[in-house]
Amino acid sequence: MQRPRSQTQLLAITFKLIKYFLLGVAGCTIAYLVASVLDLPVVASAIAFFLEQVLARSLALLGCLWAIAVIQESARS
């Protein structure tokens, strides 16, 4: 019987970063909705800019990190 392998550090870090990325997106979404309801267009536009610029690039970086972690895991086996 084979012993289950533990996750590598890179895969564990990737999953942790994806978790916090999704929590950040959820937080920005809630803040945007609150700013829209309270009629704060400056805050809402700042959050929309943040979502479009920073989080879109972060998503691309996380996708690359995830791909590297998957390739590394498949190369190990």
Domain ranges of the chain: 10-76
- The CA-to-CA distance between both ends of the chain, in Å, stands at 16
Beta strands in 1-77 (DSSP E): none
Q: What is the CA angle 55-27-42, rounded to 5?
A: 75
- Rounded Cα distance between 70 and 73, Å, is 5
Q: Tens-digit pLDDT profile for the chain (77 aa)?
A: 565 566 688 888 999 999 999 999 999 899 999 999 999 999 999 988 988 888 889 999 999 999 998 898 888 76
The pTM score is 0.76
Residue 9: predicted pLDDT:
87
